[in-house]
Amino acid sequence: MSKPGPCLHESYVLWRMFSEDLHSSLYFVNASLQEVVFASTTGTLVPCPAAGIPPVTLRWYLATGEEIYDVPGIRHVHPNGTLQIFPFPPSSFSTLIHDNTYYCTAENPSGKIRSQDVHIKAVLREPYTVRVEDQKTMRGNVAVFKCIIPSSVEAYITVISWEKDTVSLVSGFIVVSLAVVGEI
């Protein structure tokens, strides 16, 4: 029995490599997620959007490159790669967990891929009050009123109307000819 020549052996090695490549893959299913904003009272689930054949190992990291760990009742990575941040009271807020940038990786024999950064931010659900900034003006002049919104919720609040005594004022310019201070 004769040994196969070098060409036959090289062809077999190339065929085997090509064959393995056909049966192995690593890809992102949906890589568009860049920000997750959630209420502290509800918590959130963030899937790692990767898959592959053979099955992938999914891991989550902080943007600094530090692999994250489970914190019982606060943060957990499920076996399917979903990152869960549990509901929490405002007194338990931690920037490291509740307002940070994360990314996930997927790895299998095909290699390793990294998602883009995902900023995860908790919005604290606590009572807040908006108020109108006091203004002074002389009769006949213009007074500009400003709605003061607490900075903790400012990014999530939009002023949609102004009211006086529960009656909506028309948007745009409002002409008020009152001489008594404090009526508006």
The model's pLDDT over 14-65, given as tens digits with 9 standing for 90+, comes to 333 343 555 778 888 877 889 999 999 999 999 998 989 999 999 999 999 9
Q: Does residue 179 register a pLDDT over 50?
A: no
Q: Match domain 6-123 to its CATH number in 2.60.40.10, 2.30.40.10, 3.40.50.620, 3.40.50.150.
A: 2.60.40.10
Record the pTM: 0.64
Cα separation of 23 and 44, whole Å? 34
One-letter amino acid at 177 equals S
- Residue 17 structure tokens: 């490599």
Q: Does residue 173 register a pLDDT over 70?
A: no
- What is the location of CATH 2.60.40.10 in the chain? 6-123
Q: Does residue 169 register a pLDDT over 60?
A: yes
